[in-house]
Amino acid sequence: MQRPPPPPPAAPNVRLALKPAGASRGLLDGAWWPRSRHLLRELPALIDVLDPLWGRITRIAVNPEHWPVVPRKIPVTGHVVKAGWFKAEQDPHNLLLLSYGTDRWDLLVIPPQTSAAAAARLMAAASDPAGLALTASALIAGDEARHGASACPECSSPRTSTHTSPSRAVDSRSASAHRAPHLAPHREIRGQLQLSLACTRRPW
């Protein structure tokens, strides 16, 4: 029996900035600056860093606007991460992660083509525990307004995304542009991932 081809090698030297442990989390927990929009290549190295810090990452969700392919499953070291997507419900510059134990984390995704100077500013802003509680898109727009250069060159170039069908996507009823609720334990029902909202709120 022929084995499927291995996933592309992970990108080295993860470019990541996180808020200090115990800091007020606000709307974002930090920023990630991938080298491409290839989730199979980029995500494993990120998960290698986050698993020891946040607990095993089991699922992620993205907005497919800037991700040309959103695979249902992404092999990482020691396990597989399931991926879903939201359109209107999720900020296009946000990566949502669920860790073992159902905790939720949110990262600003800095576009790969962003200049080093702009990326450094965005990473500092997203990981600043004393910073304003801004969404991922608001941080990028604010940096562009202050410095007169776009931090998202790809935003003006629409791309065609290839992602899972609605029946395979994460149930958007649990998605929110705000992070107030926890995401409760999830389960597979007829092949569709469903996430329900718990009554408890996430600590700030």
Question: What is the distance between the alpha carbons of residues 59 and 98, in angstroms, rounded to a whole number?
Answer: 5
What are 197's two structure tokens?
A: 């909202």
Question: What is the predicted pLDDT for the residue at 102?
Answer: 63
- For residue 175, what pLDDT is reported? 37
Which portions of the chain are predicted below pLDDT 50?
7-8, 10-11, 158-204
- pLDDT the model gives residue 150: 63
Q: What is the pLDDT of residue 142?
A: 94
86 vs 159: CA distance, rounded Å: 16
The pLDDT score that the predictor gives to residue 21 is: 85
What would the two tokens of residue 41 be?
């290549």
Strands 57-62 and 79-85: parallel
Residue 140, pLDDT score: 95
CB 155 within 8 A of CB 111: yes
Per-residue pLDDT at 6: 53
Q: Are 170 and 187 in contact (CB under 8 A)?
A: no
Q: 22 Cβ partners below 8 Å, 6+ apart?
A: none
pTM value > 0.75: no
CA atoms within 13 A on the CB side of 188: 6
Closest-CA residue to 110 (of 8, 12, 15): 15
The Cα 89–Cα 85 span in angstroms is 9
Q: Contact, 53 vs 16, CB < 8 A?
A: no
pLDDT at residue 24, rounded to an integer:
78
Q: Which residue has the tokens 């081809």?
A: 5
Residue 151's alpha-carbon distances to 11, 68, 125, in angstroms, are 21, 19, 13
- For residue 177, give Cα distances in angstroms to 85, 149, 190: 13, 26, 27
